[in-house]
Chains A and B, each alone.
Chain A
Amino acid sequence: MAVPLLETRDLTMHFGGVRAVHNVNFTLAEGELRCLIGPNGAGKSTFFKMLTGQLEPSHGRVLFRGRDISHAHAHEIARLGIGIKTQVPNVFDGLSVRENIWLAASRIHSVRHANGVVDEMLARIGLIPAADRLVGQLAHGQRQWVELGIVLSTDPVLILLDEPAAGMTHEEVQKTAELVREINRTKALIVVEHDMQFIRMIAKQVTVFNQGRVLVEDAVEDILRNPLVRDIYLGKQAAA
């Protein structure tokens, strides 16, 4: 079998006594799109943080194309080709939309080339009219789009999206789903989302986290029918 794009082995993160992520073994093939679901506090964001070097695992390993990146710095991992849209929009609030995208694009392009790339990206995420506004003044949904644009502009191999549809209108959610599918034509993705409609729109294979562990991993239709998943996840959400 070919080397997977991403693999974790017994990946673990403990905060004091809290086992946020515990012995997770996870594999993602080149070009795959995977959804990651699980109730609040299941450890999804923590898992992402370990994949991107924002947290150093308590133990276990992360392999990216066979290379151990468990202890690499965030910027090194980014340069290897993993981009992330974090749960809380992580953008340059004090700068304009254009400048935000430019900073991302100029990491891989020359200054002159970057300007052209920025215009393309602004068109792709539909923010040309807002190009010169400060990102901090935009609505939540639009800031999510800016962040997507930033991530795409660095042309990563693998994109992690932590709740990309949160705070979006129904229309925006659909547009985002479309974009995700489009991105998946060339890149691998892992998408964390609570919005089941959104998951239905994009997912093939789904991994369910619960209390820091992988509960099940299956095709989306089976996951949605799985009583165990219903109990821990949908049930909880309904109760909340």
Chain B
Amino acid sequence: MNDRALNVIGLALVGVVGAAFLILTPRFAELDAVLELTVFMIMAILALSLALVWGYGGILCFGQSAFFGLGAYTYAIAMFNIGESTGPLLLAIGLPAAFAALLGYFMFYGRISDVYLGVITLTVTLILFNSVNSTAGPEFHIGVARLGGFNGIPGIPPLNIPGNKAAPVDLEGMFYLATASLLATYFGLRWLLASRFGRIIVGIRENERRAELLGYDPRVYKLATFTVGGALAGFAGCLFANWGAFVSPTIFGLAQSAQIIIWVIVGGRGTLIGPIVGCIGIQWLTTALGANQPSGSDWMTNLMANAPFILGIILVAFVLLVPRGLVPTLGDIGHWLLRLRARPAAPSLKPKQAEEG
């Protein structure tokens, strides 16, 4: 019961903080800060997509950036061809979801084990990177949209109010949209995970064989989880393409995939708030280090401003020292402190149970 109260308090807290952030930021922050915060929000949605797939579904996906990139490219290409953003937005969600479903079908129905899942998703990401990267020539186009190869696609038109081409979303609007989307994603996932479906996917993560012997088909549930994850990542990709009005193949890159993994590891698998915190914290850290780099500086400052270097150290350190991630570890410490304080008052509610086997 206590846990339940904590749960409600947590939800309310996220809601209040989120709403306050949504409303207050544009009033008090500089425009470039708002711009930067917008991309943090977008990436946090991406982080949530992997939090679902890996943290709750137990599916080791090293290629979440494939769906992110696919969403961004789909939006860009569809936008040049269609002009009104409702269709492109839906495509940018639907296509990555369909691709995830296809890939997931192939992997889960082929009973491919965890480790190989990682390798396959990684490989798929690289295939996309290689393919898109090599489409620089003018012969590579879809409709009127040129793919641009390693140069990427610049000048992507922004989203507009549905149905009204003449009302594009401005920078501030983009912030509202991204933040509201993040909140909606967070609460939507909370709901999903509390539902029957969510509890079953956690059961499958905990013990796939047992779930099967109870009559659940793990393949179906994993496929559904993976597809939802793909859709969410695609949506984040669409917002990202909007934010910078630009996409390039690096969006499919290994570095991007690694980042998403790191956000989730640092924040903690099996939580939603953790990956959001991890994502925002790490992005803030890498931008701060990068921004402080004076030009022509010495070797050491170069190194410290070097994102892969820092990210690498963080990843190794967390795997070795804090393998469960920040939020679960802090939660444990909190519980432990609470119990420490509660002990003299209420000595052991459940007498002797562990001492039997």
Judge if B26 is at the interface, Cβ distance under 8 Å. no
Known contacts: A141-B357, A169-B356. The answer to whether A92 contacts B213 by CB under 8 A is no
- How many angstroms from the CA of A140 to the CA of B202 in the assembled complex? 23
B353-A167 in contact (CB<8A): no
Q: How far is the CB of B316 from chain A (nearest CB, A)?
A: 25
Q: Which residues of A contact B335 (CB under 8 A)?
A: none
Known contacts: A73-B217, A139-B357, A150-B214. The answer to whether A106 contacts B209 by CB under 8 A is no
Judge if B199 is at the interface, Cβ distance under 8 Å. yes
Q: Which residues of A contact B203 (CB under 8 A)?
A: 92, 95, 99, 103
Q: How far is the CB of A204 from chain B (nearest CB, A)?
A: 27
Judge if A111 is at the interface, Cβ distance under 8 Å. yes
With both beta carbons as reference points, the residue of chain A lying nearest to B216 in the complex is identified as A75
With both beta carbons as reference points, the residue of chain B lying nearest to A74 in the complex is identified as B212
**Partner among A52, A92, A93, A138 whose Cβ is within 8 Å of the Cβ of B353:** A138
Q: How far is the CB of B117 from chain A (nearest CB, A)?
A: 20
Judge if B211 is at the interface, Cβ distance under 8 Å. yes
Judge if B350 is at the interface, Cβ distance under 8 Å. yes
Judge if A142 is at the interface, Cβ distance under 8 Å. yes
A93-B206 in contact (CB<8A): yes
Judge if B196 is at the interface, Cβ distance under 8 Å. yes
Partner-contacting stretch, out of A60-68, A76-84, A180-188, A221-229 = A76-84
Judge if B90 is at the interface, Cβ distance under 8 Å. no
- How many angstroms from the CA of A137 to the CA of B354 in the assembled complex? 7
Judge if B292 is at the interface, Cβ distance under 8 Å. no
- How many angstroms from the CA of A143 to the CA of B311 in the assembled complex? 41
Judge if B200 is at the interface, Cβ distance under 8 Å. yes
B357-A167 in contact (CB<8A): yes
A75-B207 in contact (CB<8A): no
- How many angstroms from the CA of A154 to the CA of B202 in the assembled complex? 18
Interface residues in B176-220 by Cβ distance below 8 A to A read 196, 199-200, 202-203, 206-207, 209-218
B206-A94 in contact (CB<8A): yes
With both beta carbons as reference points, the residue of chain A lying nearest to B3 in the complex is identified as A132
Of B200, B212, B214, most buried by chain A (CB within 10 Å of CB) is B214
Q: Which residues of A contact B214 (CB under 8 A)?
A: 75, 78, 83, 103-104, 107, 150, 154
**Partner among A78, A130, A137 whose Cβ is within 8 Å of the Cβ of B215:** A78
Known contacts: A78-B212, A92-B210, A107-B214. The answer to whether A139 contacts B356 by CB under 8 A is yes
**Partner among B206, B215, B354, B357 whose Cβ is within 8 Å of the Cβ of A75:** B215
- How many angstroms from the CA of A133 to the CA of B203 in the assembled complex? 16
Q: Which residues of B contact A16 (CB under 8 A)?
A: none
Q: How far is the CB of B162 from chain A (nearest CB, A)?
A: 34
Known contacts: A74-B212, A74-B213, A93-B207. The answer to whether A102 contacts B356 by CB under 8 A is no
A91-B210 in contact (CB<8A): yes
Judge if A211 is at the interface, Cβ distance under 8 Å. no
Q: Which residues of A contact B210 (CB under 8 A)?
A: 90-92, 150
**Partner among B199, B213, B353 whose Cβ is within 8 Å of the Cβ of A129:** B353
Known contacts: A52-B213, A75-B216, A129-B353. The answer to whether A99 contacts B199 by CB under 8 A is yes
**Partner among B209, B211, B218, B350 whose Cβ is within 8 Å of the Cβ of A103:** B211
Interface residues in B323-357 by Cβ distance below 8 A to A read 350, 353-357
B199-A102 in contact (CB<8A): yes
Q: Which residues of A contact B202 (CB under 8 A)?
A: 95
B206-A78 in contact (CB<8A): no
B206-A92 in contact (CB<8A): yes
- How many angstroms from the CA of A141 to the CA of B353 in the assembled complex? 11
- How many angstroms from the CA of A79 to the CA of B209 in the assembled complex? 14
- How many angstroms from the CA of A111 to the CA of B203 in the assembled complex? 15
A83-B213 in contact (CB<8A): yes
Judge if A87 is at the interface, Cβ distance under 8 Å. no
B213-A90 in contact (CB<8A): yes
Q: Which residues of A contact B216 (CB under 8 A)?
A: 75, 107
Q: How far is the CB of B164 from chain A (nearest CB, A)?
A: 41
A91-B207 in contact (CB<8A): yes
9 shortest interchain CB distances as A-B pairs: A139-B357, A78-B215, A140-B357, A139-B356, A92-B206, A74-B212, A79-B215, A75-B217, A103-B203
- In the complex, 14 of the A-B residue pairs with CB atoms within 8 angstroms, ordered by the A residue number, are A75-B213, A75-B215, A78-B215, A95-B202, A99-B199, A102-B199, A103-B200, A106-B196, A130-B353, A138-B354, A140-B356, A150-B214, A167-B357, A169-B356
10 further A-B contacts with Cβ under 8 Å, apart from A78-B214, A95-B202, are A52-B213, A74-B209, A75-B215, A99-B203, A107-B214, A111-B196, A138-B354, A139-B354, A140-B356, A150-B210
Chain A positions near chain B (C-beta within 8 angstroms):
52, 54, 73-75, 78-79, 83-84, 86, 90-95, 99, 102-104, 106-107, 111, 129-130, 133, 137-142, 150, 154, 167, 169
